[in-house]
Amino acid sequence: MIHSLFMINSAGDIFMEKHWKSVISRSVCDYFFEEQQKANSPEDVNPVISTPHHYLIHIYRENIYFVAVCTTEVPPLFVIEFLHRVVDTFTDYFGDGGESAIKDNYVIVYELLEEMLDNGFPLATESNILKELIKPPNILRTVVNTVTGSSNLADTLPTGQLSNVPWRRAGVKYTNNEAYFDVIEEIDAIIDKQGSTVFADIQGVIDCCVKLSGMPDLTLSFMNPRILDDVSFHPCVRFKRWEAERVLSFVPPDGNFRLISYHVGSQNMVAIPVYVKPNISFREGGGRFDVTVGPKQTMGKMVESVVITCAMPKVVLNMNLTPTQGTYTFDPVAKVLTWDVGKINPQKLPNLRGNISLQSGSPPPESNPAISVQFKIQQMAVSGLKVNRLDMYGEVSKSSPKKSFTFEKYKPFKGVKYLTKAGNFQVRT
Amino acid sequence: MTDSKYFTTTKKGEIFELKNELNSDKKEKKKEAVKKVIASMTVGKDVSALFPDVVNCMQTDNLELKKLVYLYLMNYAKSQPDMAIMAVNTFVKDCEDTNPLIRALAVRTMGCIRVDKITEYLCEPLRKCLKDEDPYVRKTAAVCVAKLHDINAQLVEDQGFLDQLRELLSDSNPMVVANAVAALSEISDTSPSPAAQMEMNQQTINKLLAALNECTEWGQIFILDALSNYVPKDDREAQSICERVTPRLAHSNAGVVLSAVKVLMKGMEYVGMESEFVTTLQKKLAPPLVTLLSSEPEVQYVALRNINLIVQKRPDILKHEMKVFFVKYNDPIYVKLEKLDIMIRLATQENIAQVLAELKEYATEVDVDFVRKSVRAIGRCAIKVEQAAERCVSTLLDLIQTKVNYVVQEAIVVIKDIFRKYPNKYESIISTLCENLESLDEPDARASMIWIVGEYAERIDNADELLESFLEGFHDESTQVQLQLLTAIVKLFLKKPTETQELVQQVLSLATQDSDNPDLRDRGYIYWRLLSTDPAAAKEVVLAEKPLISSETDRLEPTLLDELICYIASLASVYHKPPSAFVEGQALVVRKTQLPVRSASGEPGATGATESPVPQQAQPVQQQQSVIPSHDTAMGDLLGDLLSMDLNPPQQQMSMTPAPQQDMGGMDLLGGGLDSLLGGPSPVAGMPASQASMGGGLGDILGLGISSTTYVPPKQVWLPAPKAKGLEVSGTFSIRQNVRYMDLTLKNNAMAPMGDFAIQFNKNSFGLSPASALQVPSPLSPGQTADVTLPLGTNGPVQKMDPLMNLQVAMKNNIDVFYFSCLIPIHLLFTEDGQMDRKVFLATWKDIPDSNEVQKEIANPNQLDPKGISDKLQQSFIFTIAQRNVDGRDMLYQSLKLTNGIWVLAELKIQPRSPTMTLSLKTRALDVIPQVQQAYELIIANM
């Protein structure tokens, strides 16, 4: 199981350590540093490192390496998933999981880590349970705390840990009941020089914001559930109902959560909403850069927030370009060109062109850089997935003194939003 | 207000100040002080000096303060054990609190205080908590058992906590079950004792499957891992487990998904191969595996390493998913390299065009390692998919045209392999290759190019010029290049003898006279002698047909692959090594599961009811299986012997006329070793039954068949297949007709036929050595088993081994040389002339000092009478000299002699109708006594 955790920042300082069993000397991190030296970039450090007595498994997020130390044979994915959950929790608590946030909230971080693992076994990782145990910091509470001398730590039992639905706490009450669903789809694609699709698939999620009193029981059905053949569910979804009727039936957690994530495979045709016409050439001492973006299969929707980034070869000194719309920047240290295009107007296609200057004396690069594209399209799910209806059952006002034990239909606000955006969308040039 | 303030101290005497604050009367100030202490602790400052002051703060109703003090305690209790005891009372009290949260917190923290002195105080509270009415407390207590086991395993076993833990497996609350499973599997991982092992039966499996649906994601991982260790009774059970596990594939936690994949992959092995069930299950496995590849890069990496195993075992699962393995330019390098590997494994005739286009794209990327591997991948595709070879070659040519140095070099290395796989097909491109001769600066590439020039010398007009140009800097080249150059020029000479005589003389003298490298010198001499004595033979040797190279070079050995499939989702699957190869403390446990059933007498004294007066030398039975590590220094001699085996050239028809030159001393290297190994037909192998009469006298008296006269222990696996690239060797020793044999069973578990078997023994305590060559029906085809007997002599070199009866063996086949060791049963070494004269016996008995007498109770399970025993023992050459009866007890006086002349005298006291008897042994060489005692027990118990 997980023995210890070290957090290492980009400067190579171990700024936090936590041991769930006996203390392991920080010198064990030397093996990690050794491996880190071999890597060309911070992301390239192999996540599973073996040393004579320990196994180091780490993730790299927010410019921090979270290095877990194990002494026995453990499932590495368990460790990796857990570490990601730790960072997610930090982000949830402090707004971001970066080094300064961790340092600013040292005691909470330590308390959180203590609650999340016991002797290397996961204890409480659900955000609602943790929040019951350890209150997240906010300005009001810190002020109150300093005045009254109370603390972030709750004195109550984490009731959720004992219930059959550990993801939901009991006794939730809202004056305005609401349930919102966001269907968000990301297109991962590789497009080749000629503009044809080498590979494309869709990663979709349904994120929910459910604020309902009591113990609601929801049913979500789709117009075309056949699209969803590769899905991962939040533990609250009843798998049997899905198998039998293709509807999502669940008692939702309170607040924001991810209901399902799904994957529409490369066997299906994926509509590519934008095209990029790149024309990049290098010669001795310089080169030409000319890129045009345009909409392709957008079903009449507007393509927004288009950003084009291109990691130029190391020998590029500077770029002198003119955009027809939006702004561009070239970072001469990281050699990254970023062009913030904005909306695409089909009548007047955005274009960026100009000259590239290379370091004098060095030969022109062998290959052209790949371009990665970001965009957003509102009110469209590119897979065609559509929510049919949402039904809610369950009691609302059990605790109301006047009509105790009466059951009442929810009358909440509900809504579904669709969004398509680029995931890992690459164009080879 | 943030916590960073705790890290800034401006004044000196920090500890002193904290001490004051901790002892403050104000609650608030106390808490702030404890917070400061914790903060210092987390950054590694030593604040253990404050231990008593912090512990004083523990008695509080404030939960937060309590927790903070607990945190501190866990960290420093070890360094202040005496102080930590002060805290015990508070824990015991907290364990009986009305609030289950406090109870759980107390039991949780208790286990984290890793102080031996405290552990015994914890047993009672822990026992109570394991039976607590609140599931939250029970599940916390379950983990506490694992903690306690880590500190003091014996205590946990003695106190019966393991049984209590096993009871929790059928708890009504799924989280309790999950934690119990996790705790048990951790305990059984680290503890070799059988009491700690988790037994799985149908009932527990059902409980686990029921809990699986309702527990947390982490609990699901533990339960799935435990399920994968269960061997289903029949295919129906396997099928039902699979069905109930399948829904886990749709979980959002990647760990759950991969552990479920493991259970299913193992389950499919137990369901019939062709069944429809397997086909549908395989279809269900693909989507979740693909989904893992869209997670974080670290998850992708682990998934890819596992997919690499899965596609080797069941290529059908992902055969349509090639595209998801295409590399994105911003993938981390470790993901890129793994994807590349899998792309090649999935490459088939149908998708090869796509794959090649991708690989070509990758070859223009920035990362040098990745580009090299991509180029190599193109070569591997050519070798794997014959129809695509031409396409691959033209792709490689395109890449060579780019003139990027490392691309060209890598391309030439793989083109060499393509030439070997498809001879006489693509030689037209040689001229293009030759254009790039100057740019090659890596030994691999240079050696490959030289090989190509030499191999196709007859088609390259200026081959001699090309090779000559390399010759100029001969001494600066690496050995690899030098050897290749030597061979290439000899090839050239054999093909175009007229023009290149000068060149060949030059290279031979460079290699033999000016080089310090023995490999190079020896090869030079061999060529020289060959060329000077028999050019025709030289041609046959040097230009011999080359064996084909296999299409997939880096596949895992099937036995290893099967083993690794059982370890999917674990570290072993990431390293592609079985856990025994890298997990500490695991080796012992794993080996035990592999050991075959041993004869009951394997544990000396286990049957004896009374205590033995003599301290028994516990036999390290497991040693029998241990494979000698190749770096063992004691193996030097054996390795020396084997060197001659390795030199055994494939061309046996090679004429070996004595060297005409005087300076040919090196040639003798080949001589001696070969003779003993290639020795003619064995004179003893398969001795005809007609000769039985020779040793028949004994057989007749005893009224036994000729098959076996002495006790023969059952065969044991000496060399397990995974350690020997698929060769499994099991064996035993026997004596038939006064000849000692090693009876071997060789099993070929690999995919390719095996041949060219040979065997050698290391020096051993009794000078055992093979009396003839090993006769194995060759080739031994895959799956085939061969029984072989190897007659043994006792005149080999002697060296005392530890343990005494250890025999280290090297076995060679066409694949490799393997080492293993086994224990010789001592009765193998008893000689038939071990009957001492009565008078001599008496004299010797008196002569040997009493201090050399060792007494031991041995079992007589069949309660044989003296006659039966002495008959039995005589079959194994333990001779009864005299017999007398004292006070109703029979005394047998016996003698035996070992092959190296050691005499052992024995007195056996037999009490009628008693399951034990007393054996007194007297000998001058005390070392053999434990073995002789064991031999007595074995023989008496087994015949």
A424: chain B residues, CB-CB within 8 Å? 328, 330
Burial class (CB in 10 A: 0-12, 13-18, 19+), B637: middle
- Does the pLDDT value for residue B733 go beyond 90? no
- How far apart (Å, rounded) are the C-alpha atoms in residues A409 and A427? 51
Does residue A194 sit at the B interface (CB-CB below 8 Å)? no
Look at residues B521, B488, B537 and name the one whose alpha carbon lies nearest to residue B664.
Answer: B521
- How far apart (Å, rounded) are the C-alpha atoms in residues A28 and A32? 8
- pLDDT tens digits for A329-353? 999 888 899 999 999 888 889 999 9
Q: Which residue of A has its CA nearest to B259?
A: A75
- How far apart (Å, rounded) are the C-alpha atoms in residues B760 and B756? 13
3-state SS of B725-786? CCEEEEEEEEEECCEEEEEEEEEECCCCCECCCEEEECCECCCCEECCCCCCCCCECCCCEE
- Confidence (pLDDT) at B600: 36
Taking CB atoms within 8 Å and a gap of at least 24, the contacts of B529-536 are B529/B659, B529/B661, B529/B664, B529/B667, B530/B654, B531/B490, B531/B493, B531/B504, B532/B660, B532/B661, B533/B655, B533/B657, B533/B660, B534/B655, B534/B657, B535/B494
Distances (CA, A) of B385 to B3, B359, B368, B380, B390: 62, 15, 26, 9, 10
A72:B190 CB<8 A: yes
- Over residues B805-833, the mean pLDDT reads 82
Q: Would you call B423 helix, strand, or coil by DSSP?
A: coil
Among A residues 270-299, those touching chain B with beta carbons less than 8 Å apart: none
- How far apart (Å, rounded) are the C-alpha atoms in residues A426 and A272? 12
Q: Would you call A179 helix, strand, or coil by DSSP?
A: strand
- Confidence (pLDDT) at A327: 92
Q: Which residue has the tokens 């004994």?
A: B698
Strand ranges for A99-230 from DSSP E:
117-118, 121-122, 178-191, 197-211, 217-222
- Does the pLDDT value for residue B629 go beyond 50? no
Check residues B592 and A90 and name the one with the higher pLDDT: A90
- Does the pLDDT value for residue A184 go beyond 90? yes
What are the tokens at A421?
Answer: 């955006």
**What percent of chain A is predicted at pLDDT more than 70?**
89
Q: How many other CB atoms are there within 10 angstroms of residue B191's CB atom? A: 20
3-state SS of B509-543? HHHHHCCCCHHHHHHHHHHHHHHHHCHHHHHHHHC
Among A residues 314-353, those touching chain B with beta carbons less than 8 Å apart: none
Query: What are φ and ψ of residue B577, in 5° steps?
Result: -135, 145
Residue in B68, B179, B252 closest to A233 by CB? B252
- Does the pLDDT value for residue B614 go beyond 60? no
Cα angle A201-A202-A207, degrees, rounded to a multiple of 5:
165
**What percent of chain B is predicted at pLDDT more than 70?**
83
Substitution target in B43, B129, B252 with the highest count of A β-carbons within 10 Å is: B252
Strongest mean pLDDT among A307-316, B109-118, B455-464, B839-848: A307-316
Query: What are φ and ψ of residue B249, in 5° steps?
Result: -65, -20
**What percent of chain B is predicted at pLDDT more than 90?**
5
Confidence of residue A60 (pLDDT cuts 50, 70, 90): very high
Among A residues 368-407, those touching chain B with beta carbons less than 8 Å apart: 370, 372
- Confidence (pLDDT) at A165: 67
A188:B294 CB<8 A: yes
Confidence of residue A186 (pLDDT cuts 50, 70, 90): very high
- Confidence (pLDDT) at B7: 56
- How far apart (Å, rounded) are the C-alpha atoms in residues B516 and B309? 45
- β-strand partners of B887: none
- How far apart (Å, rounded) are the C-alpha atoms in residues B211 and B221? 12
Check residues B787 and B684 and name the one with the higher pLDDT: B787
B63: chain A residues, CB-CB within 8 Å? 153, 155
A229: chain B residues, CB-CB within 8 Å? 287
Residue in A46, A81, A230 closest to B290 by CB? A230
- Confidence (pLDDT) at B599: 34
- pLDDT tens digits for B637-676? 443 343 334 333 333 333 343 433 444 433 343 333 334 4
DSSP one-letter string for A321-378: EEESSSEEEEETTTTEEEEEEES-BTTB--EEEEEEEE-TTSPPPSSPPPEEEEEEEE
Strand ranges for B849-902 from DSSP E:
853-859, 879-886, 889-897
A44:B334 CB<8 A: yes
Q: Would you call A257 helix, strand, or coil by DSSP?
A: strand
Check residues B194 and B888 and name the one with the higher pLDDT: B888
Q: Would you call B653 helix, strand, or coil by DSSP?
A: coil
Q: How many CA atoms lie within 13 A of B105 on its CB side?
A: 26
Calculate the dihedral angle through the C-alpha atoms of A222, A224, A228, A233, rounding to the nearest 10 degrees. Answer: 0
- pLDDT tens digits for B512-532? 888 888 888 899 998 888 888
A78:B255 CB<8 A: yes
3-state SS of B541-591? HHCCCCCCCCCCCCCCCHHHHHHHHCCCCCHHHHHCCCHHHCCCCHHHHHH
Q: Which residue of A has its CA nearest to B332?
A: A44
Check residues B84 and A181 and name the one with the higher pLDDT: A181
- How far apart (Å, rounded) are the C-alpha atoms in residues B546 and B487? 14
The pTM of the whole model exceeds 0.90: no
Strongest mean pLDDT among A179-188, A388-397, B566-575, B853-862: A179-188
Confidence of residue B702 (pLDDT cuts 50, 70, 90): very low
Among A residues 109-148, those touching chain B with beta carbons less than 8 Å apart: 110-111, 114, 118-119, 121-122, 125-126, 142, 146
B901: left (phi over 0), alpha (psi -120 to 50) or beta: left
Residue in B134, B332, B583 closest to A43 by CB? B332
What are the tokens at A53?
Answer: 């007595």
Confidence of residue B853 (pLDDT cuts 50, 70, 90): confident
- Over residues A1-10, the mean pLDDT reads 90
Does residue A13 sit at the B interface (CB-CB below 8 Å)? no
- Over residues B742-755, the mean pLDDT reads 81
- Confidence (pLDDT) at A306: 93
What are the tokens at A369?
Answer: 């850089």
Among B residues 246-305, those touching chain A with beta carbons less than 8 Å apart: 247, 250-255, 257-259, 287-288, 290-291, 294, 296-299, 301-303
Distances (CA, A) of B808 to B205, B625, B677, B757, B797: 43, 11, 18, 17, 13
A326: left (phi over 0), alpha (psi -120 to 50) or beta: left
End-to-end CA distance of chain B: 85
Distances (CA, A) of A25 to A5, A22, B75: 11, 10, 13
A16:B42 CB<8 A: yes
A161:B2 CB<8 A: no
- pLDDT tens digits for A386-414? 999 888 887 554 444 444 344 456 677 88
Strongest mean pLDDT among B143-152, B252-261, B606-615: B252-261
What are the tokens at A190?
Answer: 């590789």
- Does the pLDDT value for residue A325 go beyond 60? yes
- Over residues B398-408, the mean pLDDT reads 86
- Does the pLDDT value for residue B626 go beyond 70? no
B27: chain A residues, CB-CB within 8 Å? 149
Does residue B78 sit at the A interface (CB-CB below 8 Å)? yes
Substitution target in B2, B227, B321 with the highest count of A β-carbons within 10 Å is: B2
Q: How far is B573 from chain A (nearest CA, A)?
A: 9
- Does the pLDDT value for residue B500 go beyond 90? no
Cis peptide before B791 (omega within 30 of 0): no
- Confidence (pLDDT) at A80: 94
Q: How many other CB atoms are there within 10 angstroms of residue B800's CB atom? A: 11
Chains A and B form CB pairs within 8 A to the count of 239
- Confidence (pLDDT) at B625: 38
DSSP class of residue B61? S
- Over residues B770-789, the mean pLDDT reads 80
Confidence of residue B533 (pLDDT cuts 50, 70, 90): confident
- pLDDT tens digits for B454-468? 888 888 888 888 888
- pLDDT tens digits for B19-51? 888 887 777 788 788 888 877 776 677 787 888
Distances (CA, A) of B474 to A196, B23, B386, B471: 52, 81, 37, 5
Look at residues B127, B39, B119 and name the one whose alpha carbon lies nearest to residue B84.
Answer: B119
- Confidence (pLDDT) at B2: 55
Substitution target in B302, B355, B374, B563 with the highest count of A β-carbons within 10 Å is: B302
Residue in B39, B214, B333 closest to A106 by CB? B39
B1:A107 CB<8 A: no
Cα angle B165-B169-B172, degrees, rounded to a multiple of 5:
120
Q: Which residue of A has its CA nearest to B109?
A: A118
- pLDDT tens digits for A111-124? 889 888 888 888 88
Does residue B4 sit at the A interface (CB-CB below 8 Å)? yes
B255:A43 CB<8 A: no
Confidence of residue B236 (pLDDT cuts 50, 70, 90): confident
- pLDDT tens digits for B118-157? 778 888 888 988 998 888 889 889 988 988 888 888 888 8
- pLDDT tens digits for A74-124? 899 999 999 999 999 999 888 888 888 888 888 788 888 988 888 888 888
> Which amino acid appears at position B620 of this protein?
P
What number is the ipTM of this complex?
Answer: 0.82
- Confidence (pLDDT) at A53: 84
Does residue A50 sit at the B interface (CB-CB below 8 Å)? yes
Does residue A35 sit at the B interface (CB-CB below 8 Å)? no
A16: chain B residues, CB-CB within 8 Å? 42-43
What are the tokens at A236?
Answer: 């609250």
Cis peptide before B753 (omega within 30 of 0): no
